[in-house]
Protein backbone atom coordinates (compact mmCIF):
# COMPACT_ATOMS: atom_id res chain seq x y z
CA UNK A 1 0.00 0.00 0.00
CA UNK A 2 1.43 3.29 -1.06
CA UNK A 3 -0.11 5.33 1.70
CA UNK A 4 2.03 3.45 4.21
CA UNK A 5 4.98 5.31 2.74
CA UNK A 6 3.58 8.38 4.40
CA UNK A 7 3.94 9.10 8.02
CA UNK A 8 0.64 7.99 9.56
CA UNK A 9 0.84 10.06 12.77
CA UNK A 10 1.64 13.06 10.59
CA UNK A 11 -1.52 12.40 8.57
CA UNK A 12 -3.46 12.25 11.81
CA UNK A 13 -2.16 15.68 12.72
CA UNK A 14 -3.85 16.87 9.52
CA UNK A 15 -7.10 15.41 10.86
CA UNK A 16 -6.94 12.00 9.20
CA UNK A 17 -9.21 9.61 11.05
CA UNK A 18 -9.23 5.83 11.08
CA UNK A 19 -12.78 5.88 9.80
CA UNK A 20 -11.30 6.90 6.45
CA UNK A 21 -9.07 3.83 6.16
CA UNK A 22 -11.52 1.70 4.12
CA UNK A 23 -11.94 4.55 1.63
CA UNK A 24 -8.18 4.91 1.48
CA UNK A 25 -7.72 1.22 0.78
CA UNK A 26 -10.32 1.31 -1.99
CA UNK A 27 -8.82 4.46 -3.56
CA UNK A 28 -7.22 4.33 -7.03
CA UNK A 29 -3.53 4.67 -6.17
CA UNK A 30 -1.26 5.67 -9.05
CA UNK A 31 2.50 5.20 -8.91
CA UNK A 32 4.04 7.99 -6.86
CA UNK A 33 0.66 9.36 -5.76
CA UNK A 34 0.24 10.95 -2.36
CA UNK A 35 -2.60 11.76 0.00
CA UNK A 36 -3.29 15.36 1.03
CA UNK A 37 -5.97 17.43 2.64
CA UNK A 38 -7.59 20.27 0.79
CA UNK A 39 -6.92 23.33 2.93
CA UNK A 40 -7.93 26.20 0.65
CA UNK A 41 -9.80 26.53 -2.59
CA UNK A 42 -9.82 29.49 -4.99
CA UNK A 43 -11.81 28.61 -8.12
CA UNK A 44 -9.81 25.77 -9.68
CA UNK A 45 -6.65 26.51 -7.69
CA UNK A 46 -6.21 24.20 -4.72
CA UNK A 47 -3.98 24.49 -1.72
CA UNK A 48 -3.13 21.02 -0.43
CA UNK A 49 -1.50 20.00 2.80
CA UNK A 50 0.35 16.71 2.93
CA UNK A 51 2.77 15.38 5.52
CA UNK A 52 5.56 17.48 4.03
CA UNK A 53 3.80 20.83 3.96
CA UNK A 54 1.53 22.79 1.67
CA UNK A 55 1.58 22.93 -2.09
CA UNK A 56 -0.57 24.43 -4.83
CA UNK A 57 -2.42 22.00 -7.08
CA UNK A 58 -5.04 21.81 -9.79
CA UNK A 59 -7.90 19.41 -10.39
CA UNK A 60 -7.61 16.83 -13.17
CA UNK A 61 -10.41 17.39 -15.69
CA UNK A 62 -11.52 13.74 -15.23
CA UNK A 63 -12.06 14.33 -11.50
CA UNK A 64 -13.91 17.55 -12.28
CA UNK A 65 -16.20 15.70 -14.70
CA UNK A 66 -16.73 12.85 -12.24
CA UNK A 67 -17.72 15.29 -9.49
CA UNK A 68 -19.99 17.30 -11.78
CA UNK A 69 -21.77 14.11 -12.90
CA UNK A 70 -22.46 13.25 -9.25
CA UNK A 71 -23.69 16.82 -8.52
CA UNK A 72 -20.71 17.25 -6.19
CA UNK A 73 -17.79 19.60 -5.89
CA UNK A 74 -14.69 19.80 -3.73
CA UNK A 75 -14.74 21.38 -0.30
CA UNK A 76 -12.08 22.36 2.19
CA UNK A 77 -11.43 19.38 4.47
CA UNK A 78 -11.62 16.85 1.62
CA UNK A 79 -8.94 14.18 1.35
CA UNK A 80 -7.49 13.96 -2.14
CA UNK A 81 -5.00 11.82 -4.01
CA UNK A 82 -2.60 13.80 -6.11
CA UNK A 83 0.38 13.23 -8.40
CA UNK A 84 3.03 15.57 -9.73
CA UNK A 85 3.72 15.76 -13.48
CA UNK A 86 7.12 16.16 -15.19
CA UNK A 87 6.87 19.94 -15.08
CA UNK A 88 6.32 19.87 -11.31
CA UNK A 89 2.60 20.68 -11.42
CA UNK A 90 0.56 18.81 -8.78
CA UNK A 91 -2.77 17.37 -9.96
CA UNK A 92 -5.56 16.10 -7.69
CA UNK A 93 -7.12 13.09 -9.41
CA UNK A 94 -9.31 11.37 -6.80
CA UNK A 95 -11.35 12.30 -3.76
CA UNK A 96 -11.94 10.00 -0.77
CA UNK A 97 -15.69 9.94 -0.16
CA UNK A 98 -16.13 12.40 2.75
CA UNK A 99 -17.30 11.12 6.15
CA UNK A 100 -19.57 14.12 6.43
CA UNK A 101 -20.13 17.31 4.55
CA UNK A 102 -21.94 20.52 5.41
CA UNK A 103 -23.77 22.04 2.47
CA UNK A 104 -26.13 24.89 1.86
CA UNK A 105 -28.30 25.79 -1.11
CA UNK A 106 -27.22 28.81 -3.07
CA UNK A 107 -29.86 31.37 -4.16
CA UNK A 108 -30.40 29.40 -7.40
CA UNK A 109 -31.20 26.29 -5.35
CA UNK A 110 -27.96 24.43 -6.12
CA UNK A 111 -26.16 22.51 -3.41
CA UNK A 112 -22.96 24.22 -2.30
CA UNK A 113 -20.57 22.34 -0.02
CA UNK A 114 -19.11 24.36 2.84
CA UNK A 115 -16.69 21.87 4.46
CA UNK A 116 -15.98 18.14 4.62
CA UNK A 117 -14.76 15.69 7.25
CA UNK A 118 -15.31 17.73 10.40
CA UNK A 119 -15.68 16.54 14.01
CA UNK A 120 -17.08 19.60 15.75
CA UNK A 121 -18.71 22.86 14.66
CA UNK A 122 -18.25 26.08 16.59
CA UNK A 123 -21.32 28.20 15.93
CA UNK A 124 -19.96 31.70 16.45
CA UNK A 125 -22.37 34.53 17.13
CA UNK A 126 -21.60 38.00 18.46
CA UNK A 127 -23.40 39.31 21.52
CA UNK A 128 -23.76 42.60 19.64
CA UNK A 129 -26.21 43.18 16.76
CA UNK A 130 -25.24 39.81 15.34
CA UNK A 131 -27.21 38.01 18.08
CA UNK A 132 -30.11 36.21 16.43
CA UNK A 133 -31.73 33.07 17.80
CA UNK A 134 -33.54 32.20 14.55
CA UNK A 135 -30.21 32.13 12.73
CA UNK A 136 -28.75 29.94 15.44
CA UNK A 137 -31.65 27.48 15.00
CA UNK A 138 -30.81 27.31 11.32
CA UNK A 139 -27.17 26.45 12.02
CA UNK A 140 -28.28 23.84 14.57
CA UNK A 141 -30.36 22.07 11.91
CA UNK A 142 -27.41 22.20 9.52
CA UNK A 143 -25.17 20.43 12.06
CA UNK A 144 -27.82 18.00 13.28
CA UNK A 145 -28.58 16.88 9.72
CA UNK A 146 -24.97 15.67 9.51
CA UNK A 147 -24.90 14.30 13.09
CA UNK A 148 -22.19 16.87 13.75
CA UNK A 149 -21.73 17.89 17.39
CA UNK A 150 -21.71 21.63 17.89
CA UNK A 151 -20.75 24.19 20.46
CA UNK A 152 -22.30 27.65 20.65
CA UNK A 153 -19.63 30.32 21.03
CA UNK A 154 -20.92 33.79 21.82
CA UNK A 155 -18.22 36.32 21.06
CA UNK A 156 -17.99 39.96 22.16
CA UNK A 157 -19.03 39.16 25.72
CA UNK A 158 -16.83 42.13 26.68
CA UNK A 159 -19.29 44.45 24.88
CA UNK A 160 -22.20 43.13 26.89
CA UNK A 161 -23.12 45.14 30.01
CA UNK A 162 -25.38 42.52 31.58
CA UNK A 163 -24.29 39.11 30.40
CA UNK A 164 -26.64 36.95 32.53
CA UNK A 165 -29.66 38.97 31.32
CA UNK A 166 -28.49 38.51 27.73
CA UNK A 167 -27.98 34.77 28.11
CA UNK A 168 -31.22 33.93 29.94
CA UNK A 169 -33.48 33.90 26.84
CA UNK A 170 -30.89 31.85 24.99
CA UNK A 171 -30.88 29.13 27.63
CA UNK A 172 -34.69 28.99 27.53
CA UNK A 173 -34.67 28.90 23.75
CA UNK A 174 -32.11 26.14 23.47
CA UNK A 175 -33.04 24.11 26.54
CA UNK A 176 -33.51 20.95 24.49
CA UNK A 177 -31.32 21.59 21.50
CA UNK A 178 -28.43 19.25 20.86
CA UNK A 179 -25.72 21.91 21.30
CA UNK A 180 -23.03 20.54 23.59
CA UNK A 181 -22.49 23.76 25.49
CA UNK A 182 -22.70 27.53 25.32
CA UNK A 183 -19.57 29.62 25.90
CA UNK A 184 -19.52 33.40 26.10
CA UNK A 185 -16.11 34.94 25.59
CA UNK A 186 -14.04 37.84 24.39
CA UNK A 187 -12.26 36.62 21.29
CA UNK A 188 -9.80 39.49 21.34
CA UNK A 189 -8.42 38.19 24.66
CA UNK A 190 -6.58 35.43 22.83
CA UNK A 191 -5.11 33.51 25.74
CA UNK A 192 -8.39 33.45 27.69
CA UNK A 193 -10.50 32.33 24.76
CA UNK A 194 -7.96 29.67 23.77
CA UNK A 195 -8.09 28.37 27.36
CA UNK A 196 -11.91 28.34 27.35
CA UNK A 197 -11.96 26.31 24.15
CA UNK A 198 -9.00 24.05 24.97
CA UNK A 199 -11.14 21.18 26.32
CA UNK A 200 -12.84 20.95 22.91
CA UNK A 201 -9.66 20.84 20.84
CA UNK A 202 -8.33 17.34 20.66
CA UNK A 203 -5.33 16.33 18.56
CA UNK A 204 -6.35 15.06 15.15
CA UNK A 205 -9.82 16.58 15.37
CA UNK A 206 -11.16 19.01 12.82
CA UNK A 207 -13.26 21.96 13.94
CA UNK A 208 -15.16 24.29 11.69
CA UNK A 209 -16.03 27.90 12.58
CA UNK A 210 -19.45 28.92 11.27
CA UNK A 211 -21.31 32.19 11.61
CA UNK A 212 -22.10 35.43 9.90
CA UNK A 213 -19.58 37.97 8.73
CA UNK A 214 -18.08 39.98 11.57
CA UNK A 215 -19.12 37.44 14.21
CA UNK A 216 -15.49 37.00 15.24
CA UNK A 217 -14.58 33.69 13.60
CA UNK A 218 -11.17 34.75 12.34
CA UNK A 219 -10.40 36.42 15.66
CA UNK A 220 -11.08 33.08 17.35
CA UNK A 221 -9.09 31.18 14.74
CA UNK A 222 -6.14 33.47 15.48
CA UNK A 223 -6.52 32.91 19.21
CA UNK A 224 -6.64 29.15 18.75
CA UNK A 225 -3.76 28.92 16.33
CA UNK A 226 -1.83 31.56 18.29
CA UNK A 227 -1.00 33.35 15.10
CA UNK A 228 -2.21 36.24 13.02
CA UNK A 229 -2.67 34.12 9.91
CA UNK A 230 -6.28 35.17 9.52
CA UNK A 231 -6.81 38.80 8.75
CA UNK A 232 -9.63 40.21 10.82
CA UNK A 233 -11.82 43.07 9.77
CA UNK A 234 -13.21 45.98 11.68
CA UNK A 235 -16.95 46.13 12.08
CA UNK A 236 -18.77 49.38 11.46
CA UNK A 237 -19.89 50.60 14.87
CA UNK A 238 -23.34 51.72 13.73
CA UNK A 239 -24.70 48.37 12.60
CA UNK A 240 -21.90 45.95 13.51
CA UNK A 241 -22.16 44.34 10.10
CA UNK A 242 -18.83 42.80 9.35
CA UNK A 243 -16.86 43.52 6.26
CA UNK A 244 -16.15 40.35 4.40
CA UNK A 245 -12.58 39.70 5.31
CA UNK A 246 -12.36 35.92 5.06
CA UNK A 247 -12.63 35.15 1.38
CA UNK A 248 -11.93 31.45 1.24
CA UNK A 249 -12.34 28.54 3.58
CA UNK A 250 -9.03 27.73 5.14
CA UNK A 251 -7.67 24.90 7.17
CA UNK A 252 -5.37 25.97 10.00
CA UNK A 253 -3.43 24.10 12.65
CA UNK A 254 -3.62 24.56 16.40
CA UNK A 255 -0.50 24.02 18.50
CA UNK A 256 -2.11 21.01 20.24
CA UNK A 257 -2.70 19.19 16.94
CA UNK A 258 -6.32 20.05 16.22
CA UNK A 259 -7.25 21.50 12.83
CA UNK A 260 -9.52 24.47 12.36
CA UNK A 261 -11.42 25.44 9.24
CA UNK A 262 -12.32 29.12 9.18
CA UNK A 263 -15.14 29.94 6.79
CA UNK A 264 -16.17 33.23 5.24
CA UNK A 265 -19.27 34.70 6.87
CA UNK A 266 -22.44 33.50 5.22
CA UNK A 267 -24.98 36.16 4.32
CA UNK A 268 -27.76 33.61 4.16
CA UNK A 269 -27.83 29.99 5.11
CA UNK A 270 -30.39 28.30 2.91
CA UNK A 271 -30.74 24.80 4.33
CA UNK A 272 -29.99 21.72 2.32
CA UNK A 273 -32.28 19.55 4.44
CA UNK A 274 -35.69 17.87 4.37
CA UNK A 275 -38.68 18.00 6.71
CA UNK A 276 -37.56 14.90 8.59
CA UNK A 277 -34.16 16.45 9.32
CA UNK A 278 -35.77 19.64 10.58
CA UNK A 279 -38.04 17.58 12.85
CA UNK A 280 -35.08 15.64 14.16
CA UNK A 281 -33.19 18.81 15.05
CA UNK A 282 -36.22 20.12 16.97
CA UNK A 283 -36.38 17.38 19.56
CA UNK A 284 -38.16 19.76 21.93
CA UNK A 285 -41.10 20.19 19.52
CA UNK A 286 -41.35 16.44 18.91
CA UNK A 287 -41.26 15.71 22.60
CA UNK A 288 -43.84 18.31 23.61
CA UNK A 289 -46.20 17.50 20.75
CA UNK A 290 -46.88 14.11 22.33
CA UNK A 291 -48.86 16.01 24.96
CA UNK A 292 -50.92 18.10 22.51
CA UNK A 293 -54.65 17.36 22.73
CA UNK A 294 -54.88 16.52 19.03
CA UNK A 295 -52.59 13.91 17.60
CA UNK A 296 -52.21 15.84 14.36
CA UNK A 297 -51.83 19.19 16.12
CA UNK A 298 -49.99 21.67 13.93
CA UNK A 299 -49.29 23.97 16.88
CA UNK A 300 -50.99 26.82 15.08
CA UNK A 301 -53.57 27.82 17.64
CA UNK A 302 -55.38 24.52 18.21
CA UNK A 303 -56.80 24.17 21.73
CA UNK A 304 -54.74 22.12 24.17
CA UNK A 305 -51.48 22.63 22.27
CA UNK A 306 -48.64 21.67 24.61
CA UNK A 307 -46.01 23.00 22.23
CA UNK A 308 -47.37 26.55 22.17
CA UNK A 309 -47.82 26.44 25.88
CA UNK A 310 -44.31 25.34 26.83
CA UNK A 311 -41.97 26.31 24.02
CA UNK A 312 -40.54 29.83 23.77
CA UNK A 313 -42.41 31.56 20.94
CA UNK A 314 -39.27 32.29 18.95
CA UNK A 315 -38.22 28.67 18.92
CA UNK A 316 -41.61 27.54 17.57
CA UNK A 317 -41.49 30.31 14.98
CA UNK A 318 -38.07 29.06 13.85
CA UNK A 319 -39.38 25.51 13.57
CA UNK A 320 -42.40 26.49 11.52
CA UNK A 321 -40.42 28.81 9.27
CA UNK A 322 -37.79 26.16 8.55
CA UNK A 323 -40.47 23.53 7.88
CA UNK A 324 -42.17 25.84 5.36
CA UNK A 325 -38.84 26.59 3.76
CA UNK A 326 -37.76 22.97 3.28
CA UNK A 327 -41.24 22.01 2.03
CA UNK A 328 -40.87 24.65 -0.69
CA UNK A 329 -37.36 23.39 -1.49
CA UNK A 330 -38.56 19.80 -1.75
CA UNK A 331 -41.27 20.56 -4.28
CA UNK A 332 -40.46 19.42 -7.78
CA UNK A 333 -41.19 21.83 -10.65
CA UNK A 334 -44.57 20.10 -11.28
CA UNK A 335 -45.69 20.34 -7.65
CA UNK A 336 -44.56 23.93 -7.51
CA UNK A 337 -46.59 24.75 -10.63
CA UNK A 338 -49.59 22.96 -9.13
CA UNK A 339 -49.21 24.91 -5.87
CA UNK A 340 -49.09 28.16 -7.83
CA UNK A 341 -52.21 27.29 -9.82
CA UNK A 342 -54.12 26.34 -6.63
CA UNK A 343 -53.05 29.65 -5.13
CA UNK A 344 -54.16 31.56 -8.27
CA UNK A 345 -57.52 29.75 -8.28
CA UNK A 346 -58.02 30.64 -4.61
CA UNK A 347 -57.25 34.28 -5.14
CA UNK A 348 -59.61 34.36 -8.17
CA UNK A 349 -62.36 32.92 -5.97
CA UNK A 350 -61.61 35.39 -3.22
CA UNK A 351 -61.79 38.30 -5.68
CA UNK A 352 -65.07 36.94 -7.05
CA UNK A 353 -66.58 36.68 -3.54
CA UNK A 354 -65.48 40.19 -2.79
CA UNK A 355 -67.15 41.45 -5.97
CA UNK A 356 -70.41 39.66 -5.07
CA UNK A 357 -70.27 41.13 -1.58
CA UNK A 358 -69.85 44.67 -2.87
CA UNK A 359 -72.37 44.06 -5.64
CA UNK A 360 -70.20 45.26 -8.52
Ligand X SMILES: Nc1nc2c(ncn2[C@@H]2O[C@H](COP(=O)(O)OP(=O)(O)OP(=O)(O)O)[C@@H](O)[C@H]2O)c(=O)[nH]1
Which positions touch Zn ion (CB under 5 A)? 292, 297, 299, 305, 307
Residue count, binding to ligand X (CB under 6 A): 25
Pick the binder of ligand X from 234, 238, 356, 360 (CB under 6 A). Answer: 234
Residue 292 interacts, among Zn ion, ligand X, none and using kind-specific CB cut-offs from 5 to 8 Å, with Zn ion
The closest alpha carbon to 250, from 260, 240, 241, belongs to 260
Reported residue count of the chain is 360
3-state secondary structure of 87: coil
Build a one-symbol-per-residue string for 18-57: x at contacts with ligand X by CB under 6 A, - elsewhere: ----------------------------------------
Q: Which does 297 bind (CB under 5 to 8 A by kind): Zn ion, ligand X, none?
A: Zn ion
Residue 299, contacted partner among ligand X, Zn ion, none, CB below 5-8 A by kind: Zn ion
- Which one of the spans 37-45, 66-74, 175-183, 229-237 is the region binding ligand X (CB under 6 A)? 229-237
Spatial neighbors of 64 by CB under 8 A, at least 6 apart, are 44
β-sheet with 101-105: strand ranges across: 111-116, 101-105, 270-271
Confirm whether residue 292 is marked as ligand binding. yes
Q: CA distances (Å), 258 to each of 76, 123, 250, 285, in order?
A: 15, 17, 14, 35
Among 51, 145, 206, 219, binds ligand X (CB under 6 A): 219
Decide if residue 188 touches ligand X (CB under 6 A): yes
Min dist CB 309 to Zn ion, Å, is 8
Enumerate residues 6+ apart whose C-beta is below 8 A from 189: 158, 223
**Residue 218 is assigned to a ligand binding site:** yes
Handedness of CA 197, 199, 203, 209 (dihedral sign): negative
Q: Using an 8 Å Cβ cutoff, are 209 and 124 in contact?
A: yes
Q: Does 152 bind ligand X (CB under 6 A)?
A: no
Distance (Å, rounded) from C-alpha 192 to C-alpha 24?
A: 39
CB-nearer residue toward ligand X: 69 or 237: 237
Which positions touch ligand X (CB under 6 A)?
A: 155-156, 158-159, 186-188, 211, 213-219, 232-235, 242, 244-246, 264-265
Amino acid sequence: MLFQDQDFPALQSLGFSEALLPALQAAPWHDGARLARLCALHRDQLQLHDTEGTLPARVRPELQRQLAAADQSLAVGDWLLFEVDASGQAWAYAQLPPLNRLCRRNPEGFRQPLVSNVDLALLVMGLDHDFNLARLDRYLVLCHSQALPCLIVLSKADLCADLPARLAPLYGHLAHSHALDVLALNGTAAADSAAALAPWLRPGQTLVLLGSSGAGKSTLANALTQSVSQQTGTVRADDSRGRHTTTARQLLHCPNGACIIDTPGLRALQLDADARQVDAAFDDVQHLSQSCRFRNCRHQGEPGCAVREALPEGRLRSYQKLQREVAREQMGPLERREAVSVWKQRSREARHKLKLKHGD
